[in-house]
Amino acid sequence: MTPMPDPTVLLARAGARATITIHRPDKLNALDAAAIDELRRVLLDVRQDASVRAVVITGSGSKAFVAGADIGELAALDPIAARAMAARGQHVFDLVEQLGKPVIAAVNGYALGGGCELVLACTLRIASDAAKFGQPEINLGLIPGYGGTQRLPRLVGKGRALDLLLRGSTIDAQEALRIGLVDRVVPAGELMTSAETLADELATKAPQAVRAILEAVNRGLDLPLADGLRHEAALFGLVAATADMKEGTRAFLDKRAPVFTGQ
């Protein structure tokens, strides 16, 4: 009997928090096609699980979050396969961004190429002080294919993004914080505690309001302001009809902590 291969993406649950770990430590957690497919399966599982209200994504070991794509796979691509590979990766990273639940990147080491693109797709980003970031695809004669040319300028601005994309340089955690690529830098030993604490805090919020905020922001960035405001008003109306809205306002008036059920 052929033994089952070790999983490349691990999923653990703790209360309302799920932790997804990219698990290819011998390859610095590089994302090959199998890992991308496994990540998609895990994300769909988490999205459908109403008991999960916040997610942490990290990498195995202390050296790397995700050190990019599998270069061996890249070297063998023809144009048609390359386009399909990019589309598949973009779809999976879109799932991260559009999960409807906060996704926190806990960046424990190298986040290069596809790893940096995965960080960009997350809702919030906490980095170890030992983390490194970059989009080095230009040094391989390539461009980012999992959303880096689109999400990076939206996050840090056009000029800073082009500097990273065209030079293929690597920056440390403090520089990533300065330009807005990450939201917080913590000592390496505090990374997972910080990410889990934030996830647990976000998991206490009203799930439908969280989902509406994520939708309003993500969709609104691609709309003219007037259209974005109309979409916000529509979502505001929908959320106002929820039991959680009634619980939240009543709890405030009663001077107690609300208990949100997602209804």
Burial class (CB in 10 A: 0-12, 13-18, 19+), 87: exposed
Report helix, strand or coil for 95.
helix
Q: Given the structure tokens 């509406």, which residue do they identify?
A: 212
Q: Does the active-site annotation cover 196? A: no
Q: Does the active-site annotation cover 247? A: no
Burial class (CB in 10 A: 0-12, 13-18, 19+), 92: buried
Phi and psi, residue 118, nearest 5°: -65, -40
Q: Are 126 and 157 in contact (CB under 8 A)?
A: no
From the candidates 117, 175, 201, 232, give the one annotated as an active-site residue: 117
Q: Are 18 and 43 in contact (CB under 8 A)?
A: no
Our measurement of the distance from residue 115's CA atom to the centroid of its chain's CA atoms, rounded to an integer in Å, reads 10
- Catalytically active residues, by annotation: 117, 137
